[in-house]
Amino acid sequence: MNRIKALAATSALIAIVGWAPLEFARAQAAEPSVSALVQTAPLQKEDLPRRIEALGEVATGSVESVNFPNAGQVEKLLVTPGQPVKRGAPLAVLGADPAARLAWAQADSAARFARSELKRNEDLFALQLATAAQVDAARRSLRDAEAALAAQHGLGGDAARATVRAPFDGVVTAIAVAQGDRVQPGAQILQLGRADALRVKLGIEPDERSLVRVGMPVAVQDLQGTGRSAAGTVALVQDIVDPKSRLVGVIVNLPRATDADFLIPGMHVRARITLGRVHAWVVPRDAVLSDAQGAWLYQVAGGKARRVAVRQTLQAGARVAVEGEGLDASQPVVVLGNYVLQDGMPVREGAP
């Protein structure tokens, strides 16, 4: 009896062992394979702008010195640094130099005397009491005296004071004298920057200098991130490295148009210099992943993710230009959901 029970138990165990692998295989076949939900975009070639970003400072247009042609004393300063002025606006009042006033008075007296001497000699000549040579000498003396008087007039000796006026619309950038100072003829009184245009001095890396050319377009923005932008052009690329910043200076001209009214001389700004355009494969920046081995992206081939090694050649905002021998224009690029993928993993397309 016990032998019969043992044989029955053994048969049952064999039946169970044989049934289990079959059921496991059936369950495996019924269970769906693991796949990732991703979003894709077609791989296309586009033109991307090639740019250099730099920081800089706004300045006025070309700066010119305002001089006083005569010697004198500064009686009044009518402007301050940073003040905008219109053409013809008074900038300073200078009193005449005492020595210049004396020289003019002496020249005026000599001219009056020479004029009266010529009249007297002409009257005497009419009465045959003077010779023609005497009249000619008096006439020559008068010409010399009038020339000396005209010279003193040009030096401003006949004016007790003179007003220096702005030769053009501009902004006072510096004042070289103080009230009460005595100035020599031709001495600089102040500096005036032109208001019809602005200049921006940018700093770029020395190895970028060869990429920048005069005439290239530049977009200038403030550092506060307001989104306002002014368009200018490269006017000069300097051939020297600044000893303090270790950067190469680039001068940008900005017309004083309405889109540049937010820029003020002395303001710090950021700028983008457009060097040209690059025609390449372009994908969203998030489509490219990287690690110690380099950068890659995933394309979808036959419903499975295919890892493709790439090189990033240019970035413009949220778009990246890439190169890679394995890129296939017929296969879409995974732009969302790529962080969970592995090479060869099944994918299904949709919005993750």
pLDDT at 180: 84
pTM score, two decimals? Answer: 0.56
pLDDT for residue 104? 66
- The first and second tokens of residue 336, run together, are 């969302």
Give the model confidence (pLDDT) of 54-106 as tens digits. 999 998 888 888 887 777 788 889 999 888 899 999 998 888 766 666 776 78
CB 320 within 8 A of CB 332: no
Residues 214-252: tens digit of each pLDDT:
999 999 998 887 888 899 999 999 999 999 989 999 999
Say if residue 7's pLDDT is above 70.
Answer: no
Q: Given this model, what pLDDT does residue 333 score? A: 93
Q: Is the pLDDT of residue 16 over 70?
A: no
313 Cβ contact partners less than 8 Å away, ≥ 6 residues apart: 278, 280, 321, 322, 323
Q: What is the pLDDT of residue 24?
A: 43
Q: Which amino acid is at 91?
A: L
For the stretch 258-312, pLDDT in tens is: 678 888 888 999 999 998 888 899 999 999 999 888 999 999 999 999 999 999 9
Instruction: Find out whether 181 and 73 touch, Cβ atoms under 8 Å.
Output: yes
What CA–CA distance (Å, rounded) separates 220 from 54?
Answer: 10
In the chain, the percentage of residues whose pLDDT exceeds 70 is 86
For residue 219, what are the β-bridge partners? 231, 272
Residue type, 186: G
Give the separation between CA 72 and CA 52, rounded to whole angstroms: 51
pLDDT at residue 28 tops 80: no
In this structure, are residues 269 and 220 in contact, taking their beta carbons and an 8 Å threshold?
A: yes
